[in-house]
Every structure is written in structure tokens, then in C-alpha cells.
């Protein structure tokens, strides 16, 4: 589960769309009222739906989408951290966790198990204004999902025990450790909020809460919070996919209709703030680079000035044509600089961020002056036609891209209903941005930024307070909320439903929906690129993935990072256009081109509105065939990469992964990080990049996967210009070194100031196959660490509270592979976590799976196909396998047959062969002085490892 502070980046518009109507109500189940029927707009972007309401106040939205045999169920409650009280922060996010811990008729950990077994995915998120829970499952599983969601809405509290409360409190602490306290700059947001908002403002505390508040709370406090906010009258149930209202509504009424209303909920007042003068605050952190962050208070969600402020943010700091990029990044004064305008229901902020480049010699006071100079420059520069055009084009494209999945459509309907009362605001949003004028943008600049107070936050490396922007002039008020809470069960006003059926009976799923592999066609270009195309007509878009035979494995260890530096250079100037010119044209088309490197490929990803595909491919070819390879661009990117590597070395997860790779493959190319090392990047020259481009950036043997709403003939004509690309790269010659790793040894990597430790336990393993032993070991892994209800995750997270999540898995290519178990754990539970990992792996290796576990695996994996082919990107990933391994569609049936028929004996033999921890190295990243004695007590040799 995750929490976010921001509402969807796209604004949400008020008012009912013009085509909404209130027809005569058809025959509906008792207690269900039709509110609105909203049809597809003839002109514009929209999501059709029907909206209903139960007598208890629950809002139901149904969206029909029969393109895939799946359904997405979302329950959104209009409660987030903004509904909490001083001294009781974090309750909304805490209840996001508790809602997955079982309810009166659903056993402990059963929610995850049931959805996983149904072949579905699930999660929940919390932000300042809402909490949502969602599942995507095959359509025959709908009733079961409604049963689950209704049970935790109406029958949760009796299942919230003291023991569950304590375990989840530890889990939240681990989440905070992983996402906030042990992450560089992780506390920036909460420190800024403390300074920006007055004491008691709903946004003045973090969504995840303060641990002191959760430590003071008892189980009755969170129960009281649930009773106040989680009634059906404060919730929206949105169902989208292969469903019909006449089938859905009787089920909704059955499972939700008897749940009593909660206390009435009124809209929270809008609470934008203003500052008379700037507030300076600072913090030392375990970071490599200092950071300055300026936050100006502005308006609130749906305010008439919100759209113009969004446009202003793009002009100042959005992409290569922004003022900050030109002034700070292009000139190598800053490694990074950007601007955003996140808006929440009650208040918004306008934020500028910059990290100075060490070589520039600038401190944060200098950076603040440069940021303010850039604001003044905008005032003189004004707004261009292109500024407005590109923002409006991107808005249109992003809106359409967001509708490629049923989850995306349902998510939009749900959040719009909760925050505006109108589920489909998409065209209203576009209209709102399209109405922004140049004068509007200048006006909001003068109103909210010019000569206005802001919070100016300095984050500096430890011992570097001399770098801060200014002396702190603001200290947050210290509040004393006393000792442990005294809230008792007698203080709770529990509501109970009365039913005429037995809720303890889990609904049975209907017949599995028929799932077919997407139809596709194959061809090839004259230059040796194999092409595989498939149709996807839900949105007028085209997605392309071009894979060229290049990447890390084609490099030498002393030049590691060459492929990734080349792909970065291909995003810069060409011989005919500047990088800024190209970026502007892509923005005006609403298109995206991403070029990246992996172990075996350079990958070029394209996403375009189909109407703009021809122009987008022309830009792609310009990038591919006409790179300018300017020395200034290279030096800037090289310095950015070096700073990025040094910053990554402050991240425990990065250190753990690099350490594990080094132990597996030594100094060979397979043991190197794809982005390079400080030594290898320092060693690179522009001539190296040019030489690599001319020898290795070639089409022969490449693979192009295209998913589009265009007809085959039209699509083939659109991609024909790629034949201008010619040549053949050298054949790869990967030398996999002998395995010299030593099992049952703990390698300790020191990272100071570590509230958490990172653990990696693993060994070399199989190369990748599609239907062979590698595939089958993945089936075995499902039980031990391949899903939420796996043995290891339930042990370390749910039973012990040591971690936010633990997992195991195999990864491989055609040359080599590894098995790895991993987790970020509480520092004081490091040795205990290592022991639990080893014990679980040993037991699994010795005894294998049980019959119930085998049945669970079969059901879960055999029903996932409905989710595999839904979106263009999902189709790209699936079809890429077919090209890479020269497969026929029958491989899907072969895999399903293996899942259905693999025996317990075969799984257990695989467990014995591949999961014995005696063969595995153990990597621990944390405070070595503290951890060494604890780890030595486990009885393993402990060796320091320096990267």
C-alpha cells in the first residue's frame, strides 16, 4: 500500500456535463435510486456511466467496458489525513492498513489471498483528502469483490484486535522508515508543511502521520476514527468493466444495503493560506547534494486560477523549454531544477526546487537568488503562443492516455465524484485549460508569486549548515498531547447491520471468462527489423517499442555506462534542431519518446495520438539518425550522471543491489551497474560515445512491437520511414564468469545513520526459458515469496512487524540468472530478519509446498490472463516475448497446462534444488558497528564489503 500527498495531477472540474440527464427510472432493486445517466460525448473526451444511490447514502457508479473480460472495483472514502485532529495524525493511513487485516466474515490475511487466488490485483492508497481501495479481477469474480468490500465497510471493527493493531503499527513505522526517514530528502515535505500551514491546519501534518501520535493511540482511537468517517454515506463504490447495471445493482444492494449510515459528513471549508514574509527553515540529512525548495501558497482545487497556475508552473520549470532548465540545468549550475503546482481539495502550493552542481560553487543562498531572478525574467519575458499550445496539447494527450485501462477510467470517475459530485469532468478539465490566456498566466504570477512570502527550505549534507539559504527564522510550535490515550471501548458508538442472509459464506465465482491472446500480425522491414503489430481500438493512440541489440552486455567493465550515456545523448541536440526545439515539438503533439538502455538492448519507446504518429516518427528518426553529439551536452550529462551515482550511494537499496551483483559476477561486465560507476563514467569521453553509436546503434536483428487503433496497412505505411535506419552491430560475446561466491557468509556494507537495514540473500541460478525449469521455479517461488500472502511476507511483515514488505524471486536472461530474497527491515530487527529468511528458505527447501498452497498457486496464476492484455503497454510487453523467443501464441496454453498439471512432487524437487540457503550469500547494508555483533551471533562469518 502507498500514500500520496497529492491529488491527481489533472484538475477536476465542477458541474454536470451537458449530456447528463435524469430519465424515467427503470425497474431497480428496492432501496436503489437512479441519479444520473451520462452518455458518451459526441465531441470531446468522456467516460459514460450511470450513477445510483442506496438508501443508506452509498453512491454507486457503473461504467460498462466490454473490451476485456475483467472488472475494476473501487471504493473511495472521502476521508484522508485532512480529517484527522492535532495529536491524532496518521489514522487515515493507518486504517488503510487495517482494512486489509480481515473483517468479521473474512479471516486474517484473507483479503489478499482471495483476490490473488481470483487472478486479480489489489491495493489501497491514502492522501490528504481521500482513501481508496481497489481490485482488478476477471469479470466472473465481481460478486466476491463486492462481498469483500462490504464486509470491511460494515463488519470490520470486531475483527480489529489489539494484536492486529500492534502489528500494523509496526508495519506503518517500517513504511515510514523506508519511504521517509531512510530516504534522502524524505522529511522535506512534512517540514515544509509545518512551516507553511498554521498549527491545526488539516495539511500541517504528513499523511503517514507522526509516530509519536500513533504510539500514543490505542486500538479504540482508530475504531472511533473508523466509526466517524467510514460510513456508506461518505463513500463511492465505482464498478467498471465487463458488467451491466442490471446484474450489478442487486448484488450491491444485497451486500451494502443493510450497512447503517454513518454520522453526517459536511464538506470541509477551503483553507488556502498566505504568508506575510518568507519563512526560512533548514535540515541536515544524509544526502550528497544540498537542495533548496521554495513553496508559495496559492489557491485550492477547482479554484478559477488553478489552471493558469498549472500553465505557469510548466513555463517556469516543466521540461527543456522552461526558464529554470535554460538558466540552471543547461548552464550546469544545477543538477536538477523543476517547478510544480500540486493542488489538493483545501489548498494548493507552487513549488520550485533546485540542487546545485558542486562544480558551480553555488550555495543555497546563491540558488535562491537565481530562482528569484528566473521569476523576474518570466515577468519580463511574458507568455508565448507555444507556452499555451504545448500545455493544452499535453493535457489532451494525457487525458486520453489515462483512459487506456478500465482502472484508469474508474479511478477518474471515483475521484471526481468524491471531490466534485460529477464523475466525468474530463472535458470540463480540458475546457478549463483551453480557456487560459496569456493575461491569465501573468495575472496569477502577480497575485500569488510576485513579492509574496514563501517557505524556503534548505536540506544540506550533515555538517554543511554553511550552505543553507538563510538563517532559520521559523520554529514550529512544540505541542504536548500528554501520555497514552485513555479512549475506551465504552466511548464507541458501534453501528451494526441486520441481514437476511449468511455473510460468512464466501460467494462462488461464475465460469471463468474466455480469454484470448491478442490477434497480431508479423512482418519485417528491409533493414532487418522484425515487426509485430496488434490492434487496440479503445483509445485513438499508438504505442511502439523498438529494441536494438545493444546495451550493458556489449560494453567493457572500464566503460560501463556507455549505452546509457549514448541514450542520454540521443535526447539532446541533433544536427538540425536543438534539444529544446525537439522537446517543444513533441509537447505540441502530446507525444512521448523515451530512449533507454538495458542489459541486452537499447529500447526506444514511443507513445502518440494516432493522428500525430507520422510527425512523431519523423522526430524519432531525427533523434536516431542525426545526433549532434555536442561536447557541452556530453559534459553536462556526464556530470549529472556522476552526481546521480554519488547521490544513489546514500540509498541503502542501491548499495545492497550493487553489492549483490558484485558478489555474483565480480568485476565482469555482468557485475557492473547499468548506469556505470564513478570510475567508468569519469573514464568516458565523447569520442567513446560516438564510436559506440557508429558501431552498435544498428537495426539488424532489432524488434519493433506496435499496438495501435490504426489499420494494418496504415500502420505499416507509418513505420516505413524507419527503413532509413541501416546497418548491423557486432555480435554479442558475453563471458559469464565462474561462480566464486561463498554461501552462508554475511557481507556487511556500512551505511551510517540507517534506521533500516537492507537485506539481500541469494545465489546464481537458471537462465531464462518460457516453459522449462526456469518457468517452473517461478511457480515454486510463488509460495515462498512471490505474492503478498507468501510465507516470507506474512512472517516478516504481518507476524513480526519487521518490514513493510519482503519478497523472493528469480530474474534471468539468456546468459545467466539469479535468485534473490530481499527486504528493508527495522535496524533493530536486522539479525532476527536474516534468521527468519534463512529458516523459511530452509524449511521450504526441505519440505516444499503443501496441497493447499499448490491449489492456491494454480488458481491465482491460471486466472491472471484476463489482466495481461488490457492496455497497449501490457500488449507491448506480452508481444515482445513472442518476438524475442520466436514463439507462437500456443505458448500461453503450454504455460497454463504446466500450471494446471505440475505435481507437488515436482514443485518440491525444485524447492530442494533451488531454495537451499546454504548455497546463498547474505548481504546486509546498515550501520556496521551496531549490526556486526548481532550478525556474528547468528553463527555466520561476517565480512566487510567495500563497493
Residue 532: which CATH number? 3.30.830.10
Task: Place 843 in a pLDDT band, splitting at 50, 70 and 90.
Answer: very high
Task: Determine, yes or no, domain membership for 653.
Answer: yes
Range of the domain at 631: 520-724
Instruction: For residue 843, give the 3-state DSSP assignment.
Output: helix
CA distance 225 to 77: 13
329-367 pLDDT, tens digit per residue, is 999 999 999 999 999 999 999 999 999 999 999 999 999
Q: What is the mean pLDDT of residues 285-301?
A: 96
* Residue 326: band (very low, low, confident or very high) from pLDDT cuts 50, 70, 90: very high
CA-based Rg of the chain, rounded to a whole angstrom?
Answer: 28
Strand partners, 135: 73, 122
**Boundary of a domain, candidates 424, 452, 467:** 467
Within 10 Å of residue 512's Cβ, how many Cβ atoms? 16
Q: Are residues 383 and 527 in the same domain?
A: no
Going by C-alpha positions, the residue among 607, 625, 604 that lies closest to residue 549 is 604
Has residue 273 been placed in a domain? no
Co-location of 241 and 295 in the same domain: no
pLDDT at 585: 96
Same domain, 7 and 80: yes
pLDDT, position 26: 62
Domain-located, residue 512? no
Question: 903, exposed or middle or buried, with CB in 10 Å at 0-12, 13-18, 19+?
Answer: exposed
Residue 488 counted as domain residue: no
Q: Do residues 10 and 159 both lie within one domain?
A: yes
Q: What is the pLDDT of residue 8?
A: 29
Strand runs labelled E in 642-745: 703-708
The verdict on residue 912 lying in a domain is yes
> What is each CA distance from 667 to 655, 658, 860, 922, in whole angstroms?
16, 12, 40, 19
Q: Are residues 293 and 247 in the same domain?
A: no
Q: Are residues 456 and 566 in the same domain?
A: no
Kindly list the distances between the CA atom of residue 824 and the CA atoms of 47, 169, 179, in Å, as whole numbers in the listed order. 40, 16, 10
C-alpha cell at position 185: 530528502
Tell me what pLDDT residue 40 has: 86
Q: Which long-range contacts (CB under 8 A, 24 or more apart) does 514-517 make?
A: 514/69, 515/69, 515/138, 515/865, 515/866, 515/869, 517/869, 517/889, 517/892
Beta bridge partners of 237: 60, 75
pLDDT confidence of residue 5: 33
Percent of the chain with pLDDT over 90: 84
- Domain identity same for 166 and 289: no
Q: What is the pLDDT of residue 138?
A: 93
**Mean pLDDT over residues 837-848, rounded?**
98
pLDDT above 50: residue 20: no
Cell of 666: 565480480
What pLDDT, on a 0 to 100 scale, did the predictor assign at position 447?
A: 98
315 & 456 share domain: yes
777 and 664 share one domain: no
Statement: residue 252 has pLDDT above 60: yes
In a domain, 500, yes or no: no
Mean pLDDT over each residue of the chain, to the nearest integer: 93
In a domain, 274, yes or no: no
The predicted-structure confidence for 147-193, as pLDDT tens digits, reads as follows: 999 999 999 998 899 999 998 999 898 899 888 988 889 999 999 99
Same structural domain, 299 and 236: no
Domain termination site, one of 268, 298, 322: 268
| Counted domains in the chain | 4
* pLDDT > 70: percent of the chain: 97
Condensed to tens digits (0 to 9), the pLDDT of residues 428-476 reads: 999 999 999 999 999 999 999 999 999 999 999 999 999 999 999 999 9
- Domain final position from 215, 242, 268: 268
pLDDT confidence of residue 877: 87
Note whether residue 875 is domain-resident: no
pLDDT at 10: 30
Same domain, 552 and 647: yes
Beta bridge partners of 944: 748
Give the span between the Cα atoms of 330 and 336, in whole angstroms. 10
Phi-psi region of 449 (alpha: psi -120 to 50; beta: other; left: phi over 0): alpha
Q: How many angstroms from the chain centroid is the CA of residue 893?
A: 31
Q: Do 453 and 541 belong to one domain?
A: no
The Cα–Cα gap between 492 and 618 comes to 65
Those residues whose C-beta lies under 8 Å from the C-beta of residue 607, and which sit 6 or more positions away, are 401, 541, 542, 543, 544, 591, 592, 872
pLDDT in tens, 671-722: 999 999 999 999 999 999 999 999 999 999 999 999 999 999 999 999 999 9
Whether this model's pTM surpasses 0.85:
yes
**pLDDT of 722-749, one tens digit each?**
999 999 999 998 999 999 999 999 999 9
Q: In what helix (H) or strand (E) does residue 350 lie, and over which residues does it extend? A: strand 349-356
Distance CA 895, CA 878 (A): 14
Amino acid at each position: 500500500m502507498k500514500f500520496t500527498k497529492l491529488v491527481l495531477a489533472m484538475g477536476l472540474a465542477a458541474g454536470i456535463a451537458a449530456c447528463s440527464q435524469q430519465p424515467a427510472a427503470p425497474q431497480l432493486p428496492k432501496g436503489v435510486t437512479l441519479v444520473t445517466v451520462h452518455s458518451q460525448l459526441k465531441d470531446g473526451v468522456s467516460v459514460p456511466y450511470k450513477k445510483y444511490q442506496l438508501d443508506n447514502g452509498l453512491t454507486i457508479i457503473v461504467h460498462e467496458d466490454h473490451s476485456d473480460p475483467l472488472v475494476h472495483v473501487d471504493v473511495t472514502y472521502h476521508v484522508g489525513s485532512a480529517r484527522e485532529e492535532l495529536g491524532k495524525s496518521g489514522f487515515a493511513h493507518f486504517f488503510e492498513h487495517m482494512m486489509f487485516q480481515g473483517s468479521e466474515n473474512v479471516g486474517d490475511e484473507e483479503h489478499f489471498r482471495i483476490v490473488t487466488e481470483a487472478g486479480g490485483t489489489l491495493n489501497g492508497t491514502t492522501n490528504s483528502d481521500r482513501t481508496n481501495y481497489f481490485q482488478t479481477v476477471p469479470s466472473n469474480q465481481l460478486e466476491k469483490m463486492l462481498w469483500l468490500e462490504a464486509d470491511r465497510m460494515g463488519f470490520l471493527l470486531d475483527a480489529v484486535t489489539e494484536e492486529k493493531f500492534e502489528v500494523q503499527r509496526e508495519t506503518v513505522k517500517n513504511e515510514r522508515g523506508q519511504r521517509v526517514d531512510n530516504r534522502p530528502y524524505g522529511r522535506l515535505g512534512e517540514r515544509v508543511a509545518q512551516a507553511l500551514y498554521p498549527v491545526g491546519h488539516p495539511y500541517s501534518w504528513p499523511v503517514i502521520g507522526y509516530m509519536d501520535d500513533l504510539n500514543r493511540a490505542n486500538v479504540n482511537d482508530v475504531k472511533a476514527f473508523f466509526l466517524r468517517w467510514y460510513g456508506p454515506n461518505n463513500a463511492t463504490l465505482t464498478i467498471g468493466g465487463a458488467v451491466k447495471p442490471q446484474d450489478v445493482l442487486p448484488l450491491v444492494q444485497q451486500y451494502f444495503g443493510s450497512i447503517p449510515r454513518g454520522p453526517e459528513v459536511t464538506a470541509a471549508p477551503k483553507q488556502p493560506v498566505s504568508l506575510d514574509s518568507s519563512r526560512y527553515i533548514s535540515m541536515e540529512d544524509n544526502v550528497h547534494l544540498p537542495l533548496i525548495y521554495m513553496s508559495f501558497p496559492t489557491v485550492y482545487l477547482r479554484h478559477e486560477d488553478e489552471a493558469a497556475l498549472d500553465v505557469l508552473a510548466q513555463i517556469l520549470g516543466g521540461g527543456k523549454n522552461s526558464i529554470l532548465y535554460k538558466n540552471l540545468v543547461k548552464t550546469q549550475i544545477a543538477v536538477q531544477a523543476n517547478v510544480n503546482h500540486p493542488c489538493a481539495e483545501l489548498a494548493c502550493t507552487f513549488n520550485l526546487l533546485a540542487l546545485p552542481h558542486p562544480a558551480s560553487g553555488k550555495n543555497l543562498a546563491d540558488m535562491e537568488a537565481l530562482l528569484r531572478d528566473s521569476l523576474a525574467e518570466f515577468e519580463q519575458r511574458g507568455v508565448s503562443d507555444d507556452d499555451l499550445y504545448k500545455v493544452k496539447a499535453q493535457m489532451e494527450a494525457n487525458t486520453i492516455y489515462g483512459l487506456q485501462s478500465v482502472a484508469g477510467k474508474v479511478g477518474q470517475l471515483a475521484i471526481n465524484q468524491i471531490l466534485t459530485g460529477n464523475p466525468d469532468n474530463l472535458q470540463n478539465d480540458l475546457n478549463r485549460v483551453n480557456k487560459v490566456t496569456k493575461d491569465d498566466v501573468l495575472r496569477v504570477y502577480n497575485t500569488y508569486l510576485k513579492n509574496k512570502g514563501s517557505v524556503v527550505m534548505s536540506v544540506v549534507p550533515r555538517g554543511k549548515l554553511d550552505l543553507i539559504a538563510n538563517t532559520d527564522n521559523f520554529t514550529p510550535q512544540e505541542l504536548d498531547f500528554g501520555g497514552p490515550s485513555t479512549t475506551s471501548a465504552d466511548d464507541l458508538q458501534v453501528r451494526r447491520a441486520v441481514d437476511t442472509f449468511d455473510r460468512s459464506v464466501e460467494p462462488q465465482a461464475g465460469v471463468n471468462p474466455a480469454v484470448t491472446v491478442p490477434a497480431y500480425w508479423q512482418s519485417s522491414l528491409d533493414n532487418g527489423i522484425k515487426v509485430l503489430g496488434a490492434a487496440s481500438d479503445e483509445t485513438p493512440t499508438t504505442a511502439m517499442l523498438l529494441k536494438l541489440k545493444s546495451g550493458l552486455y556489449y560494453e567493457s567493465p572500464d566503460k560501463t555506462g556507455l549505452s546509457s550515456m549514448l541514450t542520454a545523448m540521443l535526447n539532446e541536440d541533433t544536427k538540425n534542431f536543438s534539444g529544446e526545439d525537439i522537446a517543444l515539438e513533441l509537447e505540441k503533439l502530446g507525444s512521448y519518446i523515451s530512449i533507454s538502455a538495458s542489459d541486452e538492448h537499447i529500447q526506444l519507446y514511443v507513445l502518440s495520438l494516432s493522428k500525430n504518429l507520422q510527425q512523431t516518427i519523423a522526430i524519432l528518426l531525427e533523434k536516431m539518425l542525426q545526433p549532434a553529439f555536442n561536447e557541452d551536452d556530453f559534459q553536462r550529462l556526464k556530470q549529472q550522471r556522476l552526481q546521480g551515482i554519488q547521490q544513489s550511494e546514500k540509498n541503502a537499496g542501491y548499495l545492497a543491489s550493487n553489492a549483490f551483483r558484485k558478489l555474483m559476477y565480480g568485476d565482469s561486465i555482468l557485475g557492473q551497474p547499468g548506469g556505470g560507476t564513478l570510475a567508468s563514467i569519469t573514464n568516458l569521453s565523447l569520442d567513446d560515445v560516438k564510436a559506440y553509436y557508429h558501431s552498435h546503434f544498428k537495426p539488424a536483428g532489432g524488434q519493433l512491437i506496435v499496438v495501435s487503433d490504426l489499420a494494418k496497412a496504415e500502420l505499416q505505411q507509418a513505420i516505413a520511414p524507419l527503413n532509413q535506419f541501416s546497418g548491423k552491430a557486432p555480435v554479442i560475446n558475453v563471458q559469464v564468469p565462474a561462480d566464486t561466491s561463498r554461501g552462508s557468509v554475511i557481507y556487511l556494507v556500512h551505511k551510517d545513520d540507517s534506521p533500516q537495514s537492507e537485506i539481500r540473500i541469494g545465489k546464481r541460478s537458471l537462465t531464462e526459458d518460457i516453459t522449462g525449469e526456469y518457468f517452473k521455479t517461478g511457480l515454486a517461488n510463488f509460495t515462498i515469496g512471490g505474492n503478498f500472502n507468501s510465507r516470507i511476507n506474512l512472517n516478516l511483515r504481518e507476524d513480526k512487524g519487521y518490514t513493510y514488505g519482503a519478497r523472493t524471486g528469480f530474474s534471468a536472461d539468456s546468459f545467466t540468472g539469479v535468485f534473490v530474497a530481499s527486504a528493508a527491515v527495522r535496524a533493530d530487527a536486522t539479525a532476527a530478519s536474516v534468521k527468519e529468511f534463512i529458516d523459511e528458505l530452509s524449511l521450504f527447501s526441505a519440505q516444499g509446498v503443501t496441497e493447499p498452497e499448490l491449489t492456491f498457486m494454480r488458481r491465482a496464476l491460471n486466472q491472471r490472463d484476463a489482466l495481461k492484455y488490457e492496455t497497449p503497454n501490457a500488449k507491448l510487453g506480452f508481444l515482445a516475448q513472442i518476438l524475442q523467443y520466436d514463439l507462437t501464441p500456443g505458448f500461453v496454453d503450454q504455460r497454463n497446462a504446466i500450471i494446471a498439471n505440475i505435481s507437488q512432487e515436482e514443485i518440491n524437487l525444485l524447492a530442494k534444488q533451488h531454495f537451499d540457503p546454504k548455497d546463498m550469500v547474505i548481504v546486509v547494508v546498515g550501520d556496521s558497528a551496531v549490526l556486526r555483533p548481532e550478525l556474528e551471533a547468528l553463527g555466520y562469518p561476517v565480512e566487510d564489503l567495500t563497493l
